[in-house]
Amino acid sequence: MRWDLFCRVIDNFGDIGVCWRLAADLGSRGESVRLWVDDPSALAWMAPAGAAGVQVVEWTADTPLPEPCDVVVEAFGCDPPAAFVERMAATRPVWVNLEYLSAEDYVERSHGLPSPQRNGLTKWFFYPGFTPRTGGLLREPGLIAQRQAFERMPWLARHGIVPGPGERVVSLFCYDNGQLPGLLHLLSDTPTLLLAAPGAAQRMLETAGTSLPGLVRWQALPWLTQPDFDRLLWACDLNFVRGEDSFVRAQWSAAPFVWHIYPQHDQAHAAKLDAFLARFGGGPSVRALWHAWNGLGLWPSSLPPCEEWTAECRRWRESLVAEQDLTTQLLRFVRQKG
């Protein structure tokens, strides 16, 4: 099929990150995707080589609007241009709104619901999620096999990262976070190499400067391509991730991970975080750590026991892998509605 996928970059990199993964995954399965994005700049580092079957169109007010494809996906309710929607009334593509990821109960109730539109078309809600009654998670065919076959030391060496003997390797991708001193204190019980993503993590560590605890050192990373970002998560003993896409990718890594959830002014993120924890499990020590990193509780005195935590993450990944991935589900959904 031919797909129009619309992406508006609201902030950060999750909007384009999710859309690119979906577009590339569809392309690898023989679909043909026109990815409309208002700010494609991040693709220069995220996906410099592009992807088979994916054409990127810079979406501005002046972009000429061609005939709509067989399927129109708008990411996160980003509203395709009105003139395009008018043309859709004539060609009648399947129209899908790909929603935000959440583990909250409303997702199961809302996934797959129709929304009748003024132009006579139906827009269908498609919700990613963690349970069989949701649209699932992006997981490319072969991803888990690649992860199992991955060798961390050569990858780290190729990226100029040389952990000392017994040094714990921790990735850090986060928003500005006043909780960093608490985290550094917690990590200071063991030699630790913190690999900091560009942006807030690096800025905060630069500011921390000489106040870094003795056993903790850090190294700045460049922006990695998405496949290399995945490998970073596979190479680390512990991953701090954020937003939506890196959060999911940490779950495929199955190394212990901590989520810095996108903060919302009305505190809605606290319920969203707890909804995930309720499904994931992890026990009180994981819960306390996640709450502390998100400013929702006091710091525990130590990290969760590593073996149990790792086993929990592996069990969680196995349970997710038993579900169908998002792209497979979306393809089936669209064929049913078409």
Provide the binding-site residues for ligand TRH, judged by CB under 6 A: 10-15, 17, 46, 173, 197, 223-224, 226, 229, 242-247, 262
Active-site residue, 11 included: no
The CB-of-88 to ligand TRH minimum distance in angstroms stands at: 25
The CB-of-321 to ligand TRH minimum distance in angstroms stands at: 20
Active-site residue, 15 included: yes
The CB-of-16 to ligand TRH minimum distance in angstroms stands at: 7
The CB-of-66 to ligand TRH minimum distance in angstroms stands at: 27
Nearer to ligand TRH, 95 or 259 (CB): 259
Nearer to ligand TRH, 9 or 94 (CB): 9
Identified catalytic residue from 4, 15, 237, 245: 15
Nearer to ligand TRH, 138 or 292 (CB): 138
The CB-of-272 to ligand TRH minimum distance in angstroms stands at: 10
> Which 3-state string (H, E, C) describes the chain?
CEEEEEECCCCCCHHHHHHHHHHHHHHHCCCEEEEEECCHHHHHHHCCCCCCCEEEEECCCCCCCCCCCCEEEEECCCCCCHHHHHHHHHHCCEEEEECCCCCCCHHHHHCCCEEECCCCCEEEEECCCCCCCCCCCCCCCCHHHHHHHCCHHHHHHHCCCCCCCCCEEEEECCCCCCCHHHHHHHHCCCCEEEEECCCHHHHHHHHHHHHCCCCEEEEECCCCCHHHHHHHHHHCCEEEEECCHHHHHHHHHCCCEEEECCCCCCCHHHHHHHHHHHHHCCHHHHHHHHHHHCCCCCCCCCCCCHHHHHHHHHHHHHHHHCCCCHHHHHHHHHHHHC
Nearer to ligand TRH, 201 or 292 (CB): 201
Identified catalytic residue from 230, 244, 245, 325: 244
Nearer to ligand TRH, 260 or 291 (CB): 260
State the catalytic residues.
15, 244
